[in-house]
Amino acid sequence: MPLKIRQDHNRFREIVRGRIKDNLKKYIQKGEMIGKRGKDTISIPLPTIDIPHFSFGHQEQGGVGQGEGEPGTVLGPGQVEPGQGQAGEGEGEHQLEVDLSLDELAAILGEELSLPHIEPKGQKQIENYKVRYTGINTTGPESLRHFKRTYKQALRRQISSGTYDPSNPVIIPTKADRRYRTWKLTPQPESAAVIVYMMDVSGSMGDEQKEIVRVESFWIDTWLRSQYKGLESRYIIHDAVAREVDRETFFHTRESGGTMISSAYRLCHEIMDADYDHSNWNIYPFHFSDGDNWSADDTRTCVEILKNDLLPRVNQFAYGQVESPYGSGQFIKDLREAFDGSERVALSEIADKDAIYGSIKDFLGKGK
Amino acid sequence: MTLPARLHDIKREIEGYARTFGLDFYDVIFEVITYDEMNMVAAYGGFPNRYPHWRWGMEYDQLSKGYEYGLSKIYELVINNDPCYAYLMESNMDVDQKIVMAHVYGHCDFFKNNFAFQATNRKMMDEMANHATRVRRIIDKLGVEKVEDFIDRCLSLENLIDQHAPYIKRTATPTPDNEVPQEAHGFKNDREYMQQFINPQAFLDQQRRKLETERTRAKKFPEHPERDVLHFILKHAPLERWEFDIVSMLREEAYYFAPQGQTKIMNEGWASFWHSTIMTTRALRDDEIIDYADHHAGTMGSRPGALNPYKLGIELYRDIEDRWNKGRFGKEYDECDDLRARRNWDQKLGLGRQKIFEVRKHYNDVTFIDEFLTIDFAMEQKLFVYEFNEKGNRWEIATREFAKVKQKLLQQLTNFGQPIIEVVDGNFENRGEMLIGHKHDGVDLRPDYAKDTLKNLTSLWRRPVNLVTHRDGKGIMLRFDGKEHSEKKVDL
């Protein structure tokens, strides 16, 4: 039996995820619980919502504690809990965040994201059937026997034939009384889609920028894989030249050099030409960079390639630009100028790690 | 789930010990539940039936995460009700169940006898279920969002009750007798020649002035500052029927839980004292000793920055028992400054048990600490005050000085660690606005929360609300008029 509290629990989680009750958003606090997994201490995220009261600021308040130490002794993290507290344990060593389980994350994202403009394409179109039990039949396997309906049928027969005795209400179903559940197959259309990830690994991209790009493309990739069956991914990294790499390399490589964005777009075009006919595939290129291209000429070439070769074939072209202290950030402005208002081009600026989620929403948010 | 035979036997055994020690309690009904149910019931504040609200879900989230990662575990949960309800976790060892039962009988004795609980509703189990039904009915009619938002706002005001209201009658019912007389007559005098001696002019003038102030006060509304802000709202705010219903339910629940907040140290200390006494002198079998010690140590464990009420409470009761057994109290002992004599002081009075039973009846945390926390005790328990070091951005031990330790502790406990807020004027500036005052005792209010709470209060009062408080040593009046916040300096 599901617990009654599930309802309240779900409601709480929806508030924390920001889906309902925006007015409480500012009271959400990112708490954590410190636990142990093997030798490591781990931090378990523990969001809470603090309803405002007339109350004292804890920082000013201090409190009374118990234990060894001279005045001036520092109390370690996790040890201070102003006000009264329960006994607990926890030492401040190196900590690891507990990842949300992928299922949980996909569920969170799934409520808000989808591949935009996706269309049924390709021969793989109808491949999946979903079984749903909808009807009743007089024949079927015993495991699907519908007891209630069988009983009713037998009761009906006995009453109408006059063999039903209310003082001894024994019902004996015969073979003809038996009823079975039947199922229907509903076709689940499955769309063929390919995602092409392109990442700028040039020297102007600092470690932080690369990290942001990796995190973002990692989550997009992970999420899409969990949501869409039959999804293919291709990975391109580029500095002054572009090359195709496998997933592992894409997320782990460190290179540096100049920047020619057009090289990546050209390679993307080649890959599409070779393997992904746009009448059979939904195509989604994603490109991440710091927006610092080698020359205005190259930018012009990029726009040309996009306009003539890529955009007519893709469902959406997504460009994410990371803020960088070195880069001029010009590229996104050029793109905006060239493609303003085009619904097939999604542009997003990513200021820092916190902005990743918002940026993913820019690309995949529902309702576009 | 009813108690299996094995636990039933344990219950009978422990109950017997508890009674021979003189504990006095309502019947206790134990229920065995799974860890998940335990987390749920604990999240509901002990009552299996509460109105729907996300806050329970939040509590549940914390408890279940803590349990699943093996960080915390609820052993015992007991409800102040007649009969007392207590929950046992299915998966616990028998020795744990024994400890829990002994602990529970301690709590039940405390609930029944401590003065702070005398006014609580002993049929709260039913009452809470009724509240749940009433709220559900309102939700059915008006929708979740609307009702939940209102509850959120009320919860923000939940602590604005008068913690001492159940014991003190603050407003006398007006009778012709105590109505303010129109004129000053002075003392009764039937011999006219004595008039200027019994009622000299100066005295009559003084009486007249007093009457005048009385009369102007009578025009004020409320007559005296009102700490039970929720009551004031119920009485005077233009609430819809359903709103009235919800505010009154939440207020009732707040009053039900208030005594538990005021006696946390005493109550947990008392229950721990008894589980320890019953287990170590009667109930413990040889093969259970390690598990018992482990469990008990876990309950008593503390870390430097958080005082453990179980630990502080049990040690204080033990200290009191010891002192009254040996006669270490009173003038003679206090004035003795011979260290060796003090250390060996023992008048063999044997009053300890009697004394702690008395203490559990007549004290709450504040008076308990105030009266029985001695300098010797504070040193023995290594108590200290910690403060936040702004420069180092860290918490540090500030001092071990006894006076400061005690003062800090009392300050934390007074009014349940909440600021004292009262309604000063319900018709401020003759515009139907509310003026509330914060009795400042050295610590400022958290400014952003004060503003938001003010906003919530305004939404119930339907007219602007003003709050007078201090900030950085200066008087300040915060105001919310339904649209925006403003503030101005005031002289105090």
Contacts of B66 in chain A (CB under 8 A): 33
Among residues A277, A268, A273, A349, which one has the least CA distance to residue A305?
A268
Q: What are the pLDDT digits (tens) for B450-482?
A: 999 999 999 999 999 999 998 888 889 999 998
Pairing of strands B84-89, B28-33: parallel
Among A282-286, B98-102, B137-141, whose mean pLDDT is lowest?
A282-286
Q: What are the pLDDT digits (tens) for A172-218?
A: 888 888 999 888 776 665 667 888 889 888 777 777 777 788 778 87
Q: CB of B233 within 8 A of CB of B239?
A: yes
pLDDT score, position A126 = 44
Q: Which of B384, B414, B423, B467 to mutate to test the interface with A (most CBs of A within 10 A)?
A: B384
Task: Kindly state whether B254 is in contact with chain A, defined as any CB-CB distance less than 8 angstroms.
Answer: no
Arithmetic mean of pLDDT, A25-39: 67
Indicate yes or no: CB of B303 within 8 angstroms of CB of A87: yes
pLDDT score, position B14 = 95
> Given 3-state DSSP classes, what are the helix, strand and coil percentages for chain B, each rounded to the nearest 5?
55, 15, 30
Indicate yes or no: CB of B449 within 8 angstroms of CB of A53: yes
Q: Which of A64, A70, A81 to mutate to test the interface with B (most CBs of B within 10 A)?
A: A64
Please tell me the distance from the alpha carbon of residue B353 to that of residue B333, in angstroms, as a whole number: 20
* 3-state DSSP assignment of residue A152: helix
- Helix extents (H) in chain A: 5-16, 58-61, 102-110, 147-161, 207-227, 247-252, 261-275, 296-305, 330-339, 356-364
Does residue B431 form part of some domain?
A: yes
Task: Kindly state whether B63 is in contact with chain A, defined as any CB-CB distance less than 8 angstroms.
Answer: no
- Helix extents (H) in B24-143: 35-43, 54-68, 94-113, 124-142
Pairing of strands A345-350, A74-75: unpaired
Q: CB of A29 within 8 A of CB of A83?
A: no
- Helix extents (H) in A242-329: 247-252, 261-275, 296-305
Structure tokens at B419: 């600021």
Among A89-93, A285-289, B198-202, whose mean pLDDT is lowest?
A89-93
Q: What are the pLDDT digits (tens) for A343-356?
A: 788 888 888 777 77
Quickly state the pLDDT bin for A98 (edges 50, 70, 90): very low
Task: Kindly state whether B136 is in contact with chain A, defined as any CB-CB distance less than 8 angstroms.
Answer: no
Quickly state the pLDDT bin for B317 (edges 50, 70, 90): very high
DSSP string, A193-237: EEEEEEEE--TTS-HHHHHHHHHHHHHHHHHHHHH-TTEEEEEEE
Please tell me the distance from the alpha carbon of residue A133 to that of residue A147, in angstroms, as a whole number: 15
Structure tokens at B106: 């301690």
Q: What are the pLDDT digits (tens) for A302-336?
A: 888 888 888 888 888 888 888 877 667 788 888 88
Structure tokens at B294: 């482990």
Percent of chain B with pLDDT over 90: 53
Which carries the bigger pLDDT value, residue A8 or residue B302?
A: A8
Does residue B378 form part of some domain?
A: yes
pLDDT score, position A222 = 74
- pLDDT score of A87 more than 60: no
Show contacts of B403-409: CB within 8 Å, 24+ apart: B405/A64, B405/B378, B406/B369, B406/B370, B406/B373, B406/B378, B408/A62, B408/A63, B408/A64, B409/A64, B409/B307, B409/B369, B409/B373, B409/B383
Helix (H) or strand (E) holding B367: helix B365-372
Nearest to B71 among A33, A67, A70 (CB): A33
Domain identity same for B254 and B267? no
Domain identity same for B150 and B253? yes
Q: CB of B347 within 8 A of CB of B386?
A: no
Domain identity same for B155 and B205? no
Indicate yes or no: CB of A35 within 8 angstroms of CB of B55: no
pLDDT score, position B422 = 92
Q: How does the average pLDDT of chain B come out, rounded?
A: 88
Please tell me the distance from the alpha carbon of residue A216 to that of residue A209, in angstroms, as a whole number: 11
Residues paired with residue B436 on neighbouring β-strands, in sequence order:
B423, B467
Does residue B290 form part of some domain?
A: yes
Domain identity same for B246 and B219? no
Please tell me the distance from the alpha carbon of residue A294 to that of residue A239, in angstroms, as a whole number: 10
Domain identity same for B438 and B372? no
Q: CB of B267 within 8 A of CB of B107?
A: yes
Domain identity same for B129 and B255? yes
Please tell me the distance from the alpha carbon of residue B372 to that of residue A327, in angstroms, as a whole number: 68
CB–CB contacts below 8 A, A to B:
236
Among A252-266, B193-207, B336-350, whose mean pLDDT is lowest?
A252-266
Please tell me the distance from the alpha carbon of residue B43 to that of residue A11, in angstroms, as a whole number: 14
Cα angle B261, B265, B266 (rounded to 5 degrees) comes to 100
Residues paired with residue B466 on neighbouring β-strands, in sequence order:
B435, B479
pLDDT score, position B318 = 95
Instruction: Measure Cα distances from B328 to A363, B361, B362 in Å.
Output: 76, 21, 21
The domain tally of chain B equals 5
Residues 6 or more apart whose Cβ sits within 8 Å of residue B74: B38, B39, B42, B63, B67, B89
Q: What are the pLDDT digits (tens) for B216-258?
A: 766 777 878 889 999 999 999 999 999 999 999 999 999 999 9
* Smallest Cα distance from A14 to chain B, Å: 9
ipTM value = 0.81
Domain identity same for B373 and B467? no
pLDDT score, position B397 = 87
What domains does chain A contain, in order, with CATH numbers?
1-51 (no CATH), 126-187 (no CATH), 191-364 (3.40.50.410)
Among A43-52, A90-99, A272-281, whose mean pLDDT is lowest?
A90-99
Pairing of strands B84-89, B76-79: antiparallel
Please tell me the distance from the alpha carbon of residue A335 to that of residue A110, in angstroms, as a whole number: 29
Contacts of B53 in chain A (CB under 8 A): 8
Contacts of B309 in chain A (CB under 8 A): 84
Domain identity same for B268 and B289? yes
Q: CB of A217 within 8 A of CB of A270?
A: no
Instruction: Measure Cα distances from B354 to B345, B359, B371 in Å.
Output: 20, 9, 17
Structure tokens at A81: 């809990």
Domain identity same for B95 and B204? no
Task: Give B 344-403 residues with CB within 8 A of chain A.
Answer: 381-388, 392, 394-400
Indicate yes or no: CB of B303 within 8 angstroms of CB of A89: yes
Q: What are the pLDDT digits (tens) for B337-388?
A: 888 888 888 888 889 999 999 999 999 999 999 999 999 999 999 899 888 8
* Smallest Cα distance from B8 to chain A, Å: 26
Among residues B479, B492, B427, which one has the least CA distance to residue B222?
B427
Q: What are the pLDDT digits (tens) for B153-172?
A: 999 999 899 888 777 666 65
Q: CB of A221 within 8 A of CB of A233?
A: yes
Domain identity same for B325 and B305? yes
Q: Which of B226, B250, B278 is the last residue of a domain?
A: B226
Cβ count within 10 A of residue A24 = 19
Domain identity same for B149 and B197? no
Domain identity same for B439 and B352? no
Cβ density class A315-325: b for 16+ within 10 Å, e for less: bbbbbbbbbbe
pLDDT score, position A273 = 87
Cα angle B94, B96, B102 (rounded to 5 degrees) comes to 105
| Structural domain harbouring B406 | 301-413
